[in-house]
Structure formats: C-alpha cells, structure tokens
Amino acid sequence: MWEWIKRIGRVLVAPLEFVTRYFKALLFLVIVVWIFGANEGSSAINETNLAEISLKGAILNPDSFLEELERIESLPRLAGVLLVVDSPGGAIAPSVEISEEIKRLSAKVPVVVYAQGVMASGGYYAGIWSKRIIANKGSLIGSIGVIFNGADVSELASKIGIKTQTIKAGKYKEAGTFMRPWNEDEEGEIKRLVRKQYEMFVLDVAEARGLDQEVSPLYAEGRVFSATEALELGLIDQIGIKSDAKRALEELSGVKEPLWLQKEPWEKYMERWMSQATLQLSTLLASGIY
C-alpha cells in the first residue's frame, strides 16, 4: 500500500521536478536564442514565400487558428499556404468561419490541404475551398452532415428531487431542453434547423468541389470514406503523403526557390521540452498507476 502511494506521489510531482531541475537551463537557452535569433529570424521571415498552418482537434474556437493565419498572410513574399488537417470537426459557426477565410486566402495565393489523419465534418468544411486536397491513404474523409444532440434527464431529476421552474416567451424558446421530453412542435423545429444547416454544408461542398448536388447522398449523408473512396467521389484530388502536398504547393505557387516559414528557435525548443516532460510523465504512468 505504501509503495502504491509513493508511486502516485512520483507521478504528481514529476512535472514539478522536471521544471525545477531544468528551469535555469531552459531560461538561459530561451534568452540566448532570443538574442541571437531575433535578427536572423526577422531576415528569414522577409524572404519566406511558403508557409504551413495546422488545423488539429475539435473546432470550437477559431481565434488562435485565425490569428496564426493572419500572421502568415502578413508575410511580404507569401506565395502559397499548406493547410495540414487532422480534425473530426466541431461547431458549425467556427468551421464556416475558417472555411470562408481559407476561401478568401485561396483567391490570393494557392492553398493546398493535406489530410493527415481525419478530415471530417467541420474539418472537411474548413478545407473545401483550397486549390487541391491531398490525403494520406490511411486518412478518413467526409462525414458531411449535421447533428444536434440532446438528452432527457427528467426521470433522473425526479428521482433526486429536482423540479424545474420555467418562464418563457416564445413557443420554441425551450426547444432542446434537457429537463423534459421535447414536444412534437419543438422536435419539428429542431429538425428544420438541422436540415437548413445540412443544406448549407452540402451546397458549399458541391460548389467548392464541383460536385453535383443532386447526387449528394453518394458523398454526403454523414458518411465517412476511406481516402480511396473519397478520391473516387471527388472529395479529394490526390492520395499521397505530406511531402507530396508540399511539392504540389511549390508547383502551384510557381516559386523558383521555395523558402518555407520556419518556427522560431524558442518555439522548437519549447515543443521539445514539453515533449520530454510528457514522455517522462507517461513513463511513470506506464508503471501501473492509472
């Protein structure tokens, strides 16, 4: 029992020990890199003509992605952007916002999308306006659909003695509530809203990809496809790996000497440091403490 408690303690303090042990070295290296890399980095940025940006994980808040995109757009010699997607989707509005920004950017410079793992639902929506979509052969593509989830916890609430009180104005103001079953009118209104969002999604995909909206059940309806199937349906343009996507962008941009935007040295160091800390913690967790 005591050994088990000590193991838990090691897991909890491992990140703190790592930071304490390497804090001085980390701080010193960050300062050195910042001093000696500032001028060099500024010069390199001015010559950069290609950039990579990633869209990974659930799409809930687009702000950080859009800020990074804005930073890339400010590059004076920007000639093309590689968008790396590994996202199952997310909320509708943020996905649409990213999609529209990519559409606007793609009208100025070539944008190539590389589907690295999952490019589904809002993740697919985000990249439809690019000049070319290249997918890893193991990736999953599609899930063109809209979903609205709800629950009825009224029975549980009743068992634990919770009663709701509601004052509302508007027939559908409480549509989607968790506290009682939806009535027929409310369910119908939710279905109408979901259908409208779905029609918007399908229309944009059809327009962006040059597909026939009349046969959308073949490529939409929430179905997820392998990369091979997606290629046959016209949802992507090519199957390949990331280096293929980079070469495609270099060709489309027409640059004779591709100069890719590099991460700042301190950013690379911080990523390595965080990776080492995560690895150390994972090693402790792998000892049997869960």
pLDDT at 25: 58
Q: Which residue has the tokens 């920004």?
A: 101
Task: Let me know if 196 is a catalytic residue.
Answer: no
pLDDT(214) > 50: yes
pLDDT at 278: 44
Walk me through the domains of the chain, giving residue ranges and CATH numbers: 1-48+262-290 (no CATH), 55-142+223-252 (3.90.226.10), 144-210 (no CATH)
User: What single letter denotes the amino acid at residue 278?
Assistant: T
Q: What share of the chain is helix, strand, coil (3-state, %, to 5)?
A: 55, 15, 30
Task: Let me know if 131 is a catalytic residue.
Answer: no
The predicted-structure confidence for 121-163, as pLDDT tens digits, reads as follows 999 999 999 999 999 999 999 999 999 999 999 999 999 999 9
- The band of 109, judged by pLDDT with boundaries at 50, 70 and 90, is very high
pLDDT at 4: 44
Residue from 173, 191, 196, 263 carrying the catalytic annotation: 173
The secondary structure element, H or E, covering residue 115 is: strand 111-120
CA–CA separation, 163 vs 5, rounded Å? Answer: 43
pLDDT at 47: 86
pLDDT at 262: 87
pLDDT at 215: 97
Among the residue ranges 111-120, 157-166, 173-182, 256-265, the one predicted with the least confidence is 256-265
pLDDT(286) > 90: no
Instruction: Return the percentage of the chain with pLDDT > 70, whole number.
Output: 75
Sign (positive or negative) of CA dihedral 87, 98, 256, 263: negative
CA–CA separation, 178 vs 150, rounded Å? Answer: 7
- Give the pTM: 0.78
In a 3-state reduction of DSSP, which class is residue 26? helix
Question: Which residues are CB-contacts of 7 (< 8 A; sequence separation ≥ 6)?
Answer: 284, 287, 288, 289
- For 121-271, where are the E strands, in sequence order? 132-135, 140-142, 224-226, 238-239
Is there a contact between 99 and 133 (Cβ–Cβ < 8 Å)?
A: no
The predicted-structure confidence for 29-78, as pLDDT tens digits, reads as follows 555 545 555 444 555 667 899 999 999 999 999 999 999 999 999 999 99
Residue from 87, 95, 99, 121 carrying the catalytic annotation: 121
